Amino acid sequence: MNWNDPSFPPSPPAVSDLRAGSLAQPSDALAWVDARCVALDTELVSPVEAFGRILGAPIYAIGNHPAHATAALDGFALHAAATLGASDYNPLPLNLQSNFAGAMGNDVAMPIALGQTLPAGADAVLPTEEAGLRGTILDVFRPIAVGANLVRAGDEAIDGAVVLDTGNRLRAQDIALLALIGTEHVAVIQRPRVRLLMTRTPAGDIDTILLSALLRRDGAQFEAAARAHDGDSLCDALALATVDSDLILVCGASGLGDNDFAVDSVARAGVLDMHGVAINPGATTALGRADNVPVIVLPGSPLACLYAYEWIAGRAVRRLAGSRNDWPYPKRRARLTRKIASTLGVQEFCRVRLHGNDAEPLTVTDGRLLASAVRADGFVIVPVHSEGYAENTEVTVLLHGSE
C-alpha cells in the first residue's frame, strides 16, 4: 500500500480523550488499525527465503509436475495387463530390459527407481518385493492395476493450476513444492518496517527488549531510534521516521502527567485520532498519524505495553505483514478455577495459569506487575460489557507462547 495514495482513509473525528475521561471502545481501536494497516506490497524472494513469509500473489504451475509419469517406489516398470493372473503358484515371466528405442513391449519389464520417469508404454510399477529375478527373467507373483505405484504426469501440479494462494504463510512443505515445480521467485508480502521511538520512560530498556522480541516474533523489520527526551525531540523523530516506516511505535510518556509528552507530540507532528482505549492493562494507548504513517503510542509500564502491543500494535504489524486478523497464536479452551471479576466498560486481559484443562486466574494484586505475565501461560479476554466470569465457566485462553 502506498501511503500517499489518495484512497488512504480520511481521519475520523477523535473518538476518545483520556483527559476528558472518555475512552475509545476496543473495537474502535481495532477498526482504526484495520482501516490504516493493510498488507504491504510484495517482494520477490527465492523459495528458501520464502519460508515463513506470506504469499502475496498466487503461484501457478507452469507445465505439468511431474512432466511424465514417474515411479513412486523402487521396482519394475511394466504393462499392468501382463501381470493378470500372476500368483505364487503361477509366476508370470517377463524379460528384463533397461533401454528402449520405442514403446516398451507387453512382455518386458524395466528396473526403475523411485522418482524415475516411466518408459513409454509402461503403465504401472511392480514393487521389488513382489517379483523374483532369474538372470534376465523377472517372475511376477502378483497382478497389479494400471496406475499402481506411479505418480502420473501433473499429479503434483497440473499446468496452469493454482498451487498456493495469496495469504498462505509458507511452511516447509510449501516451499519444497515450489522448488519441485521449478518456481524461482516467490512474491511474498514485504516485512513491515517498524520504527520504535522510545521516550524517557523509567522502564525504557525493558520496554525496548520486550517490544523488540514481539516485533521479531511478528516478522517486522525494526529499528529503535535514540530515546526522545522531550516533546520537541519526539516531534523531530516522528517526522524523520515517516520517511521510511510503515508503522511507528512510540513507547512511554503516554499518560496525563507533566512529563507525558508523547500524545501532544503526535498531535503536533500529525493527527491524534484517539487517546485512551478501554483496555486494561493498556488504557493510555493512543492512535494517530504522522504524514499518513500510522503511529501507535504504547504505555511505558511494561505490562501495559505488552497487552497494548498484543491487542493493538501487534495486529497492525501482522496486518501490514499480510496475516489474517485473528489471534495468530495458540488458543485453548479451559475451565476457570476461580471467578474473574472485571470492571464494566473496560475490556480486561486476565492473566491465567493453565493446569491441564483448568485455568487459574492470577490474583488481582498481580494486576500491574510484569511478573504476572511471566507467571501466566496466557490470558482470558473479558469484553467491555461483561463484569467477568463465574467459577467453572469454560473460557478461551489466548496463549502467550507455543504450547
Query: Of the two residues 15 and 163, which places its CB atom closer to a second copy in the complex?
Result: 163
Residues 107-166 that bind a second copy (CB under 8 A): 111, 113-116, 128-129, 151, 155-157, 163-164
Query: What's the grid cell of residue 400?
Result: 502467550
Query: Of the two residues 11 and 168, which places its CB atom closer to a second copy in the complex?
Result: 168
Query: Of the two residues 3 and 329, which places its CB atom closer to a second copy in the complex?
Result: 329
Name the β-bridge partners of 94: 138
Cα separation, 391 vs 359, in Å, equals 10
Residues 4-43 that bind a second copy (CB under 8 A): 21
Least gap, CB of 292 to a second copy (angstroms): 29
Query: Looking at 36-44, 134-142, 197-205, 389-397, which segment touches a second copy (CB under 8 A)?
Result: 197-205
* Chosen residue from 37, 69, 153, 177 binding a second copy by CB under 8 A: 177
Least gap, CB of 165 to a second copy (angstroms): 11
Is residue 348 involved in binding a second copy (CB under 8 A)? no
- What separation, in Å, do the N-terminal and C-terminal C-alpha atoms of the chain show? 35
Write a three-state SS string for 301-352: CHHHHHHHHHHHHHHHHHHHCCCCCCCCCCEEEEEECCCEECCCCCEEEEEE
Specify the DSSP element, H or E, that contains 127: strand 124-127
**What amino acid occupies position 141?**
F
Which positions ≥6 away from 13 have C-beta within 8 Å? none
Is residue 203 involved in binding a second copy (CB under 8 A)? yes
Query: Of the two residues 101 and 172, which places its CB atom closer to a second copy in the complex?
Result: 172
Three-point CA angle 259, 263, 267, nearest 5°: 130
Answer yes or no: are the C-beta atoms of 68 and 153 closer than 8 Å.
yes
Is residue 180 involved in binding a second copy (CB under 8 A)? yes
Query: Of the two residues 47 and 294, which places its CB atom closer to a second copy in the complex?
Result: 47
Which positions ≥6 away from 360 have C-beta within 8 Å? 337, 338, 352, 353, 354
* Chosen residue from 41, 107, 159, 205 binding a second copy by CB under 8 A: 205
Sign of the torsion angle spanned by Cα atoms 106, 110, 115, 117: negative
Cα 344 to Cα 119, 349, 381, distances in angstroms: 74, 13, 13
* Chosen residue from 54, 235, 306, 380 binding a second copy by CB under 8 A: 306
Is residue 202 involved in binding a second copy (CB under 8 A)? yes
Number of H helices, E strands in the chain: 8, 27
Least gap, CB of 305 to a second copy (angstroms): 9
* Chosen residue from 55, 124, 131, 214 binding a second copy by CB under 8 A: 214
* Chosen residue from 370, 386, 388, 396 binding a second copy by CB under 8 A: 370
Query: Looking at 23-31, 100-108, 191-199, 324-332, which segment touches a second copy (CB under 8 A)?
Result: 324-332
Query: Of the two residues 67 and 103, which places its CB atom closer to a second copy in the complex?
Result: 67
**What amino acid occupies position 253?**
A
For the chain, what's the residue count? 403
Residues 252-271 that bind a second copy (CB under 8 A): 255-260
Is residue 298 involved in binding a second copy (CB under 8 A)? no
Answer yes or no: are the C-beta atoms of 98 and 109 closer than 8 Å.
no
Name the β-bridge partners of 248: 195, 295
Is residue 173 involved in binding a second copy (CB under 8 A)? yes
Answer yes or no: are the C-beta atoms of 86 and 130 closer than 8 Å.
no
Residue 84: Cβ-neighbour burial (10 angstroms; 0-12, 13-18, 19+): exposed
* Chosen residue from 331, 338, 339, 353 binding a second copy by CB under 8 A: 331
Query: Looking at 6-14, 102-110, 190-198, 329-337, which segment touches a second copy (CB under 8 A)?
Result: 329-337
Residues 41-60 that bind a second copy (CB under 8 A): 47-48, 51-52
* Chosen residue from 17, 43, 74, 139 binding a second copy by CB under 8 A: 74
Site for a second copy, rule CB under 8 A: 21, 47-48, 51-52, 72-74, 111, 113-116, 128-129, 151, 155-157, 163-164, 169, 171-177, 179-180, 201-203, 205-207, 209-214, 216-217, 255-260, 300-302, 306, 326, 328-331, 368-371, 373-374, 400-403
